[in-house]
Structure 1
Amino acid sequence: MIETIADKFQKEREFISNASHELMTPISILQSKIENMFNEEDISDELKVKLLDMQKILNRLKTITKTLLLISQIENDQFIKEDEVNLADLLQEIYDEISIRMEEKDISFAVDISPDTTLKGVNKFLLFNLFFNLVNNAIKYNREGGEIRVTEETVNKNLIISVSDTGIGIGAEELPHIFSRFKKFKRSLLQDSFGLGLPIVKSIAGFHRIEVEVVSEKDRGSTFKLVIPAGLVKK
């Protein structure tokens, strides 16, 4: 029974990987065709609007495909874990990339992380994606004039990194399912979301043996806690 279940999971991972690879080619071809049509001299304004709509749809499809491919690569151990990553520097990189979205909603961003906190035996690209998705979610579901805080503490020799927001929170009935792929919740109905951000977080965390805990209260905000094993922390 165990072998059968394992085989099914492996086949699912292979299917997602193969399908994602195959989808990228026609998507890229269609994007090129649309771009070429934009360059035609006699194109009407009405057609331009329709082409822009088509381009938006293709961009969303490309995002979904790339995300599924990333999850598949993580689950198939296709990344090397040999980087050293200073967390304060990593969070600064994320802030530099996404700060304009915080400014649009007047959200403050506070980081209380030691400048010496460094992880070892990790993959920087994946960790960037993990923290980027957590901060991006904290912006997306936050209120105007809200706050995002990133803090650290040590519990039982493990490093705990918490990403907290003052947003709309997650209902108790939704919490058990937030890491499910393509699962849409009430809080995401008005967002341009595909339900893949948190599954990416979970996959990357699992790849690094990092546990993810969530504490949330509706209309009060959420806190995502990363429980990082002591073995990943550089002394």
Structure 2
Amino acid sequence: MMQLENELFFRTETISLQELTAAVVDDLYELLTQYHVTLEYTVESDFTVHRCNRSLLFTLVYNLATNAIKYNHPGGQVHLLGQPAPSGQGYLLEVHDTGPGIACAQLPYNSRSCNAERPGEPAHSGIGLAMAWTIAELHQIFISVDSHKGVGSSFRLLFPNVPRF
């Protein structure tokens, strides 16, 4: 985390978001089987991310997707959806699950809307979500989450057309 916070990673790569998300999906199949969760994957039109670190962006999307699987219920669903932002100002990538939701106290920062709890859930550090927020900030990706008890959580990543650094 300290390397992330001190920006000790180079952001010199240009990547296809469609290829990145396909690589994440390929790595999820064993976990999906283990947790008896299904995945819907739809990424409309490709989007190129400039001046980024592919490894960090992979970690960002992978962390959100694996959390959506692990904290779901057997027979639950995860949706990984990508599309041009309605505002035309970038690309929107969403990870949505049908799990029990997330307690507000477990979400980093204030860009959240929730009313959920996870009763009986094993304790965990929440480092994955904190890392996701840090990676998003490093790449000037706006991240937001909506979580509702018994309905699930939606994490939205808004990738800007051109990063401002």
The secondary structure found in structure 1 opposite 2:150 is coil
SS in 2 for 1:216: strand
Matched, 1:178 2:110: no
Q: Which of 117, 120, 128 is the equivalent residue of 2:58?
A: 128
* One-letter code aligned to 1:161: L
Tell me how far 1:94 sits from its aligned partner. Answer: 1.9
Q: Identify which of structures 1 and 2 has the higher relative contact order when contacts are C-alpha pairs closer than 8 Å and 6+ apart.
A: 2
TM-superposed deviation, 1:178: 0.8
C-alpha deviation, 1:228, in angstroms: 1.3
The two structures have a TM-score, normalised by structure 1, of 0.60
Number of matched pairs: 155
For 2:95, the equivalent position in structure 1 comes to 163
- Structure 2: where are the runs of 5+ without partners? 110-115
Trace 1:61-80 onto structure 2 (pairs within 5 A).
71-80=1-10
Call closer, same or farther: CA 1:155–1:73 in 2, change over 3 Å.
Answer: same
Structure 1 match to 2:49:
119
CA shift, 1:191, in A, is 3.5
| Shift in Å, 1:98 | 2.6
- Partner SS for 2:82: strand
1:212 and 1:110 map into 2 onto residues whose CA distance is: 21
List alignment gaps of at least 5 residues for structure 1: 1-70
SS at match of 2:118: helix
2:125 to 162, 169, 194: 194
Q: Tell me the distance in 2 between the aligned counterparts of 1:151 and 1:104.
A: 22
8 Å contact kept, 1:152–1:162:
yes
Identity %: 30
Alpha-carbon distance between aligned partners in 2 of 1:82 and 1:114, rounded to the nearest angstrom: 25
Q: Which residue of 2 aligns with 1:214?
A: 145
Q: Structure 1: how far apart are the matches of 2:128 and 2:73?
A: 19
| Aligned position for 1:93 | 23
Matches of 2:16 and 2:6, distance apart in 1: 26
User: How far did 1:118 drift?
Assistant: 2.2
> Which of the two has greater strand per residue?
2
Measured against aligned partners, the alpha-carbon deviations of 1:103-155 in whole angstroms (never above 9, x if no partner) come to 12221112211352221111001001101110011011111111111112313
Normalized per residue, the structure richer in helix is 1
